[in-house]
Structure formats: structure tokens, C-alpha cells
Structure 1
Amino acid sequence: MTATPLRNRTRVLILLAAVVLLGAVGTGAVRYAADRSAERDRARPDGPVVTRGDVSLRTPASRQLAFRNMAWGPHRDEIATVPADRPDGPRTASGVQCLRFHAAAGTGICLQAERGALQDTYRAVVLDDHLRELRSFPAAGIPTRSRVSPSGHLVAWTVFVSGDSYAGTDFSTRTAIVDVRDGNLRDNLETFDVIKDGKPYRAADVNVWGVTFADDTAFYATVATGGRTYLVRGDLGARTLTTLHQNVECPSLSPDGTRIAYKKRVPGVSEDAPWRLYVLDLATMTETATAEQRSIDDQAVWADDGNLLYALPGDFGADLWTAPADGTGAARRLLDAAVAPAYLG
């Protein structure tokens, strides 16, 4: 039995209506995405003042604080600077965008995303003192930590290669160290020999993250294995990781080399936010809890020998807070809409 002309006409009309509806939905989605993008690029009147200018990683005449600017507007995600003694002052944006950033002695490390149609890829970019690209390396996953050695000769970064949070157990990291002078890349610190409790240790579940440098040979990091985390001292020449203390994540060495700031898992708090900010005396292995009572999922930076700087979630994505390293005083917000800080000078 053949369809009548009326039935054919009805089917055509239904098909046309469906096409028009899908087109409207698609147009609406595009407009919504465009509106969200435009909103992201529009500076908020209550936000910090950010202007494009010359940003240098060289030792400045007066100390500067560099960071990833998180304020909404045309300079969001760019590396910016403010005077260290006036952190709430106007920001100078560099035009260089980074997801994670650190700098020392005129060298910067910038972890960037390269947006793809189906999937993003990432790379680690070594920057000179004018934030120009010196070298770049593919990064195996989502950027999470970065550090530069005090000399500026070495850079390190950590990425998630599976999972995207340290809170649970279903994640894997990859940590690399590069000598910026010759490009020598140690692309996976898990290949280093682990010395645990004074004995060689091997396990398939070893994870390494959060490098902090002592000099151009020695560094500290976190090793996770067997459901526990350890502070390790690394030796680039010997390719070893030696355990020192349990329950240490994302270590940060003090300027005088005597203490480690770190996040410690504390029983009885949220599984999604289990960490508190502590400081470890390397000579005595004495732990000191800081005054910060909230969960810290960051690798703290030492502002000086007595104070720590770290990120917490904020209205624009993240804010920078500070607390004394000796457990006294109180935590206070230092800088709105900022993350991944580094002091210059």
C-alpha cells in the first residue's frame, strides 16, 4: 500500500520542524557558549585592576610576587606581577598564559594547555627572564605542580596521567625534571631507585609528585606506595629516592633549607578534603601544625623564612592566603583571584 500525498506532505513537514528545532537548539548552545566566553573576558567592576605591561623574571629592584592571574577579564590565566609589599595593588599582566607556574633566578616553568577539537594536550614550557620560550616538552597529562631550583638551572613538573585529584586513591602521576642548560630530561622519577627504611624497595604502585629543590643535585618529593605517602630526599646523580618521614604530600623547602612545609592527611576530616598545612623540622623530624584549619590542596610557597603562601578556592577560582610557619597567629587572605605564586627577588 503506497503512502498518500497527504501523508508524504505530513512527513516532510515533521522533518522540517525537527531540523528547525535542532538548528535552534544548536544556535542557542553556540550563543550560550559565546555569552559565557564573553562574560569570562569581561572584567568585573569589583575585581582587581589588571593591565598589560612588561613582566620580567629577573631580580627586580624591589621584590615582586608573580602568579597566575585568575581575575575575570582579558588577562585571565596570564602570569602577572604585583609589588610584594603591596599585593592588593594594580597587576601587570604578561600576555603569557599558564595553568601552573613557578620561577626562580630568572627561569620560569609554565605548564600550558593546547586546546584540541576532541581532546586537550599539555606541554611544559621553560621560560627565560623575559618569559620567552626556551624549550618545551610534551606533558603526559593534566598539570598539577611545578618548581624551579634556586639556581634556575633545574625545573620540575607533575601531571595527572589518570584521575584528577589527590584526595582519593584512583590516580596516577608523572613527575619530570629538566636541566634547562642542556635539555637533559628525566621524564619519570618513578624509574629512580627507592630506598625505604634503609633498604632497596620495589613495588608496582610507586607514585612520585611535588618536587622541591635544595640545590642542583638534591631535592625533596612525595612518594606514595602501599597506601601511604612518604617524604623522600632525591639525588639526581645517584638516581635515588630515600624515605625520611611518613604522611607528607607536596613538600616545600624553606629558604634556609631546614624545614619542609607540606599537606598532611588528618584522620576524622572529609575524605574529599583531608589535608592540613604542617611544617616539618628536618633536623628533629618534629611536626608543627599551622594556624590554617581548612583543607589545603596545594604546594605551599615560602614567602620568607617565617611565612607560608598557599591557594584556597575563591570567588574567581582561587585566592592566595598566608599563615606563619611556626603555628602561631592566624591565616589571612593576601591576594584575591590568584594561584601558583612565586616570589621574585
Structure 2
Amino acid sequence: MTGSGTAGLTGRTRWVLVSAAAVLLFGGAAIFGIGAFADYQGQQAQSSEVVTAEAGSAGIAAVAGSDADAPRIVFRNTALGEGYGVVAAVPLTDPSGPRVLSDVSCDRVYATNTYEMCLRVNRGVVTTFTADLLDARGALVKSWPLPGIPSRTRISADSELVSFSAFITGETYASVGFAINTQIAEVDGADSGTLEDFALTVAGSRVTAADRNIWGVTFTSDPNVFYATADSGGRTWLVQGDRAARTLVAVRDGVECPSVSPDGTHLAYKKVVSTTPTTTWTVAVLDLATNEEVVLPEPSNVDDQVEWLDDSTVIYGVLRADDSGDSDVWAAPRDGSSAPRLLIEHAWSPAVIR
């Protein structure tokens, strides 16, 4: 959050203020809610643009075929028409084939074979925001209120930890002075609380400025260790977090929304390539052993948290220039050896279930 008047507040106190602001946000959301709900209904009131197969209440267990454990890619369906905004799946072996639609609507989704994290804008006369943990059949396991527009979410590979972020003001990463809240929670245990309560250190010095933000968590094989983005004073850093010590230590400048490769050897992330007239990003990949960075030859603006198709390929959503409500998922080799290729049309927020 911005403003010198909050410089001495702790993360806990700031979260109380954030919650109060969220109440005001919810109370004043009627006009937004009516418009958003009407737009959402309009996007669904036509035939779908893609070949689909209904899965009903099967949730993330659904996949084209009879094997519910088959490797697949789960994503938010952005094809205009019936099924717009619901969680969908395609077989990992046939990403361009017919997609199975669930009956679960999400604005941001991530999934493992056990759980699904569904960040929602609950559209209505008064709009609210939630982070919902669902089981493989789409049943609600846990729910957390969000203070604004959903942003990022992840689940650890062992399905024991979840993270979720939301904008407090409803702005975006390209906004000046945006504010965001991020939390980590144990599925069967305690919440770690807002990451603003963690001690942030950059170049050996503690950063206590009130405008700091942390988002874009990615988990490692160590349940205590994660990576994320930290921001303060117009600068961003890749930070390594320690849940037990409640610390965040900057390890690289200019990195946003990291994603650890399945084998734990590389990090993919967003990298700023322009700030004029608005911020635009491309995808870069860091070799954690050599500290060598490769910038991928991606010509489009990538405002997504990268996912890994396998240890050598990244995938990510790109908004369509002709329709802000639609997007596609692209794939690219991590070494930048070839141009990105279209993987799934009319899709967003992909998660690979191997």
C-alpha cells in the first residue's frame, strides 16, 4: 500500500485496514457488480466457439477419456459462449483436441490431481471475492475472503500448501501505487498469514516501507522454501521465502511471478521489456545452478504466471488483442531455441497435471 501515513504499521495492522477497506469496497460494488454480471451473462449467451464435452460436476477430475488420472492441462475456458469462464481440461497428449467443461466457474485457477484453487469474482448486485479450495469433484474444502480482484494462485506439488493473491484496490501490476495481499495456507493446518508480515531483506538491509507488496508465490520441494515477487519504491525483486523463519530475501532484481520447474533446476518469470506507455513483459528463464538467464523470443505482452509443461517447456496465457475477454495459451522451449507456438486456443490460467 502507498502513503507515508502508514509507514509504521505492521503487516497485521495493515491487513486489518485492508479488511476494512474491503468492506467499503464490497459496500460500494453494486454498480460494478451489475455491470460485470451483465457482461458475464452476455459472454455466455451464444454457442461456444470450441468443441466441448460436458463433464457436469466432475470438476478437475474430468478429462477427455475414461481415465480420471490421465495427464491433462486444466485451465479457464475463455471461448465466448456457453461455458465461458468455467474450468476446462484437455489431455496432455492432445491439447488442441476437444475440451471437457466442468460446472465450476473461476477467474483464476490452479490445480493438482487432488485439489483446485479457484479465485472468484462472485458477480451479482453486490460483488464479492473469494479464494476457494475445491476437491477433485468440485466440492468446497476451504474458503478465504479476498479484498479485491483475484490475481495469482498456486498449489504445492504435494497438494499440502496453497497460496493466493488479490489486488486490494482492484488495479493491476501496471498501475502506479497498486496494493496487493498474498497469503500462504496449509490445506490441513494453519495459515501463514499475509506475507507482508515476513521480514523482507534486500542487499542485507531490512525493507520496512509501507508500500511493499509480495505476490506470485511458487513452491519448491522443501515445504519451508518458496519463491515470490517483492516490490517497494518502484523496484521489484525475486525473493526466496522461508515459512519457518518468516523471512523473504531478495536474490535477483526485476523479476515478477516466478515459477519453479518440475525438476527444481530452473525458474521462469515475467521480465519487464517496456514501461511506455504502459508496462509490458516477456518471459525469461533462470538456471538456478549457473545463474544464467535466457529471455525467450516472445513478441506479445505476457501478464501471466508461467507454468511448466515439462522440464524443458513453459506455457503461459496471452490476451487476444482483438478481445480483452479472450486469450490463448502458448508454449515455448525454456532455452529460447524456437519461437512460441499456440498450444490451446481460448484458454487462460493453465495448470499441468502429470
Give the C-alpha shift of residue 56 in structure 1.
Answer: 3.8
Helix, strand or coil at the partner of 1:310: strand
> Can you list the C-alpha shifts for 1:248-280, whole angstroms capped at 9, x where unaligned?
00111111111111111125x644242111011
Contact 1:48/1:71 (<8 A) preserved: no
Q: Report the Cα distance in structure 1 between the residues aligned to 2:181 and 2:288, rounded to whole angstroms.
A: 26
1:252-291 pair list within 5 angstroms? 252-267=259-274, 270-291=276-297
- Structure exhibiting the larger radius of gyration computed from Cα positions: 1
- Is 1:319 the equivalent of 2:328? yes
Query: Is 1:127 the equivalent of 2:131?
Result: no
1:37 equivalent to 2:41? Answer yes
1:88 aligns with 2:92: no
**1:8-29: CA deviations, max 9, x gaps?**
xxxxxxxxxxxxxxxxxxxxxx
1:51 and 1:60 mapped to 2: Cα distance? Answer: 14
* Aligned position for 1:202: 208
Match of 2:78 in 1: 70
Cα displacement (A) at 1:195: 1.9
For 2:164, the aligned partner's letter is W
Aligned-partner residue type, residue 52 of structure 1: A
Q: How far apart are the structure 2 equivalents of 1:116 and 1:49? A: 27
Equivalent residues of 1:193, 1:200 under 8 A apart: yes
Give the % identical residues.
38
Rate the CA distance shift 1:113–1:37 in 2: closer, same or farther, 3 A: closer
The structural deviation recorded for 1:50 is 4.3
Alignment pair present for 1:178 and 2:185: yes
Q: What is the match of residue 146 of structure 2?
A: 139
What TM-score do you get using the length of structure 1 for normalisation?
0.84
Match of 1:341 among 336, 346, 350: 350
C-alpha contact (below 8 Å) 1:78/1:94 kept by paired residues: yes
Q: Cα deviations across residues 176-197 of structure 1 (Å, max 9, x unaligned)?
A: 1110112x22331011011221
SS at match of 1:37: helix
Change (3 A) 1:129 1:309: same
Change (3 A) 1:35 1:286: closer
Q: Is the 8 Å Cα contact of residues 79 and 347 (structure 2) preserved in structure 1?
A: yes
**Runs of 4+, deviation exceeding 4 Å:** 33-36, 57-61
The one-letter code sitting in structure 2 at the alignment partner of 1:62 is A
Deviation at 1:60, TM superposition (A): 4.5
CA gap of 1:90–1:189, structure 2 versus 1, over 3 A, is same
1:103 paired residue among 108, 111, 125: 111
CA distance in 2, matches of 1:245, 1:320: 27
1:52-88 CA-to-partner distances (Å, cap 9, x unmatched) read 3434449944311111111122211111111111112
Give the distance between the partners of 2:121 and 2:69, measured in 1 at CA: 33
**SS class of match (2:196):** helix
Give me the whole-angstrom Cα distance separating, in 1, the residues matched to 2:95 and 2:263: 24
Instruction: Figure out how many residues of one structure are paired with residues of the other and give that number.
Output: 310
Task: Please give the alpha-carbon distance, in whole angstroms, between the structure 1 residues aligned to 2:43 and 2:173.
Answer: 31
Native 8 Å contact 2:199 2:206 kept in 1 = yes
* Structure 2 contact 77–87 (Cα < 8 Å) conserved: yes
Structure 1 runs not aligned, ≥5 long: 1-29
Aligned counterpart in structure 2 of residue 151 of structure 1, from 119, 135, 158: 158
Residue 214 in structure 1 maps to residue 220 in structure 2:
yes
Aligned to 2:55: 52
C-alpha RMSD of matched pairs (Å): 2.2
Contact 1:231 1:251 in 2 (8 A): yes
- In the alignment, is the contact (CA less than 8 A) between 2:52 and 2:98 conserved in 1? yes
- Of residues 206, 229, 234 in structure 2, which corresponds to 1:227? 234
Of the structure 1 ranges 68-77 and 255-264, higher mean CA displacement relative to structure 2 is found in 68-77
Q: In structure 2, do the counterparts of structure 1 residues 131 and 291 end up closer, same or farther at CA, with 3 Å as the change threshold?
A: same
Pick from 165, 171, 179 the counterpart of residue 164 of structure 1.
171
**In structure 1, C-alpha distance between the alignment counterparts of 2:39 and 2:171, rounded to whole Å:** 28
Task: Name the residue aligned to 1:330.
Answer: 339
Q: Check 1:131–1:40 CA distance in 2 against 1; reply closer, same or farther (3 A cut).
A: closer
Q: Distance in 1 between matches of 2:105 and 2:140?
A: 12
8 Å contact kept, 2:168–2:181 = yes
